[in-house]
Chains A and B, each alone.
Chain A
C-alpha cells in the first residue's frame, strides 16, 4: 500500500513540476485577438467556410471585407449578410494567383487587423489520373495564393501603430495534417501552409502579429458537395475515420480559436487527437495543451499507427478486389 501511494505521490509531483516548467517556457505566449470594431479581411469569403466566418465577424461588430473571384457570388454574399445582420461588408474581386490584383484590393480595403486566408480548391483524384494542370491549380491557389495575400497585407499590418495585436489565420484542412489516398496535390498544398505558418510566426512575432492555422474536417460546403461526387472510393473510406461537420459549426469553432490567439485550431475531438499526433515543431502557447502533448504524445503516436494499419489493410483489400 505504502509503495503504491508513494508512486502516486511521486507521479503528482512530477506532473506539477512539468506543468511549472512548461508554464515558464511556452512561446510565443498566447494573446487574445479582439474583433469588435476591427478590420477583418477574408479571402474566399463569398461561400462556404469563408462566408460563414464573415457572418460571425459581422455579428461580433467587426468591419468586414471579403475577397473572391466571382463578382456575382460576392454580391450574393453581401446581400445574405446584409439580410441576416443589417451590416454592409466591402467586397473585392480578385484571383489570389494574381499578386497585383490582390495587392490592389488589400490596399483599397485599408489596414487589416485580422486576415483570414481561407480560399481553397480541392480535387480528390489519384495522382496518376490527375492532370499536371489540376495539380498546379491546387498548389497555385491554395499555397502560392496564400503567400500573395499575406505578402500584400503584411506591410500595412506591420505599420499599424497602437492598434493592438493583429492576426493572420490560414484555413488548412485535416488533409494538411495527414496525407491520404487521392489527395496528393491537396495535401501538399495544405502541408505547405504549416511550413509557411511556422516560419511566418517567427518573422512577425515582434510586430505583435499572431499566426493561426485552422484544421477543419470534411465540411458540408457547396465545394465539398461537388467534390464528394467525384472523389475516389478509397479517399471516402479513409476520410470517414474523421467524419464531417456543418459549415456554421466549423466557422464558430474556428472563429473562437482565432480570438484565443491559438497557433493550432481543431474543430472536433478526432481533429484534436490528430493535432496532437501531428504537432511536430508547431509552437504551443498554452501550457495546459503543452502538458497534454507531452503526456499523451506516445499514446497518440500508437493510435495513429493503428489507424495507418487499418488504412493500409483497406487499401490492400480494395486493390486486390479491383485488379
Chain B
C-alpha cells in the first residue's frame, strides 16, 4: 500500500498543468486573430518621427497604403521624402494637433476608411511633480491620453462601417512607464496607464465589429524625443529606468508591427519588457492560451521578482535622498 502513494503523486504532477492548459484553451477570449497589412490602409499618428516614422516605413515596405498624421507640415514632408526614398512608396500626410478633435476628424475623413489605426503620438518630460508646471502636466495628459481618445473616436465610425474588409486593428503605443510608475514620470505614467483602461474597455466595445485592440510597451527607445528628454531627466529616474535598458527605434518598430499583425492585446519589445508584461497583466485579456498558461504559472514568482525590484528602487531612492540632504 505504501508503495502506491508516491507513484500516484508522480502521476498527478503533470495532470494539474495539463488540465489548466486544456481549460485555458477553451476559455481564452477574445479568440486569436491575424491582422493583414498588405494593401490595407494603415494610419499612424505621430508618424513623422521616432517610432511612428519607423512604423510607417515598415507598413509601406509590407505593401500597405500608409497615412501619417503629425503637427508640423515641415516634418511631415521630410518623413514623406524619406519613406519614398527608402521604399518607393508615397504616403499620405495630414497635419493636425491630436488635441483638436475637429481637425483630427477632418484629417481622418479625408484619408478614407482605416483598417489599421496606430495611435502613437506622445510627449514626455521627466521631472519631479513638484517641479512640473500644471500646464506641462495638462499638456502631457491632453496629448497622450485625450488626444488618443480623439483619434480613436474620429476613426471608429468608418472602421465599424467597413464591410468585408477583414479584421481591423486599433493599436496604442504605450510605454513601460505605462506598466510601472517611475520617479519623475508622474504625469507621463498617468497618461500611459490611462491607455490601459481605455484599451481594456474599448476591446469589449468593439470586438463585435471585428476590431482588435493592441497595446505596445516599448522601453526607452533611441528617438529624437528621447535624446531631448535624457538631457533633463532626474538622476533617480535614470537609475530606475536602467533596470530595463534601451532599444533602437527600428527594432521597436519591428516588434510592434509583428505584434499588431499577430493580433495580440499586449506587445512587449525585449525580455525585461516581457517579464514586466507578465507582472502587470492585471485584467488584460489574453488571446493565446500558451501565454495565458505562462501567466498563470509564473504570476507568483514574477510578483516576488517585482517586489525585489521595488526593494532595490526604494533603497536607491533612500540612499540618493540622504546624499541630497547632506
Contacts and interface: CB of A to CB of B under 8 A. Distances in A.
Query: Main secondary structure on chain B at its contact with chain A?
Result: helix
Given A132-B153, A151-B137, A312-B29, A203 B201 contact: no
Interface string B304-319: 1011111101110110
Contacts of A181: 201, 204-205
A127 B174 CA distance: 19
Contacts of A279: 282, 303
Contact of B156 (A22, A128, A135): A128
Contacts of B313: 27, 202
Interface stretch (B42-50, B63-71, B114-122, B126-134): B126-134
Contacts of A99: 134
A227 interface: no
Nearest to A189: B194
A315 B201 contact: no
A189 to B, nearest CB: 7
Contact of A195 (B160, B183, B193, B202): B193
Contact of B149 (A25, A188, A201): A188
Given A1-B2, A312-B207, A280 B304 contact: no
Task: Give the residue among B6, B27, B30 with the most A Cβ atoms within 10 A.
Answer: B27
B5 interface: yes
A305 B195 contact: no
Given A25-B311, A180-B200, A200-B129, A195 B28 contact: no
A151 B152 contact: no
B143 to A, nearest CB: 12
B202 A198 contact: no
A40 to B, nearest CB: 21
A126 B36 CA distance: 27
Task: Give the residue among A136, A188, A315 with the most B Cβ atoms within 10 A.
Answer: A188
3 closest residue pairs by CB, A with B: A198-B181, A179-B200, A195-B193
Interface of B: 2, 5-6, 9, 20, 23-24, 27-30, 101, 128-130, 132, 134, 137-138, 141, 145-146, 149-150, 152-153, 156-157, 160, 177-205, 207-208, 236, 240, 276, 279-283, 285-286, 292, 295-304, 306-311, 313-315, 317-318, 321
11 contacts: A3-B5, A188-B149, A188-B198, A192-B141, A195-B177, A199-B185, A203-B184, A206-B321, A238-B204, A281-B306, A281-B310
Interface of A: 1-4, 7, 18, 22, 25-28, 99, 126-128, 130, 132, 135-136, 139, 143-144, 147-148, 150-151, 154-155, 158, 175-203, 205-206, 234, 238, 274, 277-281, 283-284, 290, 293-302, 304-306, 308-309, 311-313, 315-316, 319
